[in-house]
Structures are given as structure tokens and as C-alpha cells.
């Protein structure tokens, strides 16, 4: 969720996002409190293995879900649609307290996939280029300059495992087998500069 044209949030997460059919008070609060930085569904979407029930996520950020509930969003599903270059996340919520049934959940998963598929057909090709966080771009830039993973980790205050994860994700998104190929492609696409 978010607000179309919210440049700060789009820049923070690396891609544009919108909210539709949510209570206006919730949309305003989501933007005002920069919830895109703490929304568990949004943060887990790139690594989620399937649909996330909000009931399963509320332990991750109870205050966030209490706030959503106070605005009428009591039960929900977040459905990540994983594609080779990007992950799309569709949220469905209701004011009802009861759990969403398996048949309804399956129907919503199908709708999410069809929505993304139709949106991709309608949007220009250039909008589908890989999106990267500033941290990933910084890591690619440092690799291109000859830094090794442990030096990058120390410099950015991260673990070597975290650096490896960012590099693996960049290789996947850029469809490259090696980190140097990914750096070269990112340089060619103008994503990084030396």
C-alpha cells in the first residue's frame, strides 16, 4: 500500500506503488508515518514463498496491524506475485474479523496474478526494467571499484552474508551469472556510475 506519486516512499523502496479502495484516513496515516518502511508484508514480499495472512504477520509489527485495524482493515492477505525482474505485492483487506476461507484465498491469488499480468501488458516496456535499492546500487558500485565483500560489509555496516544476498539479487535481476557481469550491465544501463 502507499500513495501514487509519493516520491519519497517510491525512492525508499525502489519502485512505485499505489493504494486503492482503502479508507482515506489509513492512506494518509500510512504516508504520514512512512509505514512503507515498517510494513511487514511489504518488507517480506521479495522473499515470501506465497500468500501472507495478516494474522500470521501481526507478531512482526503489532502496532502497525492495530493501527490498520482501527481504520477498518482487520483481516487481510498480502499476495506477492514473483516475476523474474520484480516482485509485485497486492493486498486485500476486510473489516470482518473472520479468517479468509481457502476458496476465497485461492480466488484472490488468481485475481492478483491476473491484475499484474494485465498491468504489465498495459505498461510500457521501459517501466519494467529492474529496480534496485540504493544500498544494492552502492554495493554494485563498490564491487566495480574492486572492493571485496568483507570490505564492503565493513564500510556499510552490514554482514558479508547481507552483501552476498544483495549481489545475488542483482545478478538475478540483471540476468547475469557473475557479479562483474552484473556490475557491467548496471553500468551500461546507467544504474551506477564510476
Global confidence as pTM: 0.58
If you search the block for the grid coordinates 526494467, which residue do you land on?
A: 129
Domain segments of the chain as ranges: 8-122, 134-189
Q: Which fold has domain 8-122?
A: Beta-Lactamase (3.30.450)
The pLDDT tens digits for 145-165 are 889 999 999 999 999 999 999
CA–CA distances in Å: residue 122 to residues 14, 18, 91, 105, 128: 21, 16, 21, 26, 11
Lowest-confidence segment of 4-13, 83-92, 113-122, 145-154 by average pLDDT = 4-13
Say which DSSP state 99 is in: P
pLDDT of residue 4: 42
Lowest-confidence segment of 25-29, 103-107, 126-130, 131-135 by average pLDDT = 126-130
| Mean pLDDT (whole number) for 105-118 | 90
Q: Which fold has domain 134-189?
A: Arc Repressor Mutant, subunit A (1.10.10)
Amino acid at each position: 500500500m502507499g500513495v501514487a506519486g509519493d516520491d519519497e516512499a517510491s525512492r525508499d523502496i525502489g519502485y512505485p506503488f499505489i493504494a486503492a479502495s482503502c479508507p482515506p484516513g489509513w492512506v494518509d496515516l500510512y504516508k504520514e508515518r512512512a509505514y512503507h518502511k515498517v510494513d511487514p508484508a511489504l518488507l517480506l514480499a521479495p522473499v515470501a514463498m506465497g500468500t501472507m495472512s495478516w494474522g500470521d504477520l501481526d507478531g512482526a509489527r503489532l502496532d502497525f496491524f492495530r493501527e490498520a485495524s482501527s481504520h477498518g482493515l482487520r483481516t487481510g492477505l498480502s499476495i506477492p506475485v514473483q516475476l523474474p525482474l520484480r516482485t509485485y505485492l497486492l493486498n486485500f483487506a476486510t473489516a470482518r474479523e473472520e479468517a479468509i476461507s481457502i476458496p476465497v484465498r485461492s480466488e484472490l491469488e488468481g485475481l492478483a496474478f491476473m491484475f499484474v499480468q494485465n498491468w504489465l501488458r498495459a505498461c510500457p516496456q521501459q517501466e519494467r526494467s529492474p529496480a534496485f535499492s540504493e544500498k544494492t546500487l552502492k554495493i554494485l558500485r563498490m564491487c566495480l571499484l574492486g572492493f571485496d565483500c568483507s570490505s564492503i560489509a565493513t564500510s556499510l555496516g552490514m554482514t558479508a552474508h547481507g552483501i552476498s544476498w544483495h549481489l545475488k539479487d542483482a545478478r538475478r535481476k540483471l540476468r547475469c551469472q557473475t557479479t562483474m557481469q552484473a556490475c557491467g550491465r548496471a553500468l551500461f544501463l546507467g544504474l551506477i556510475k564510476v
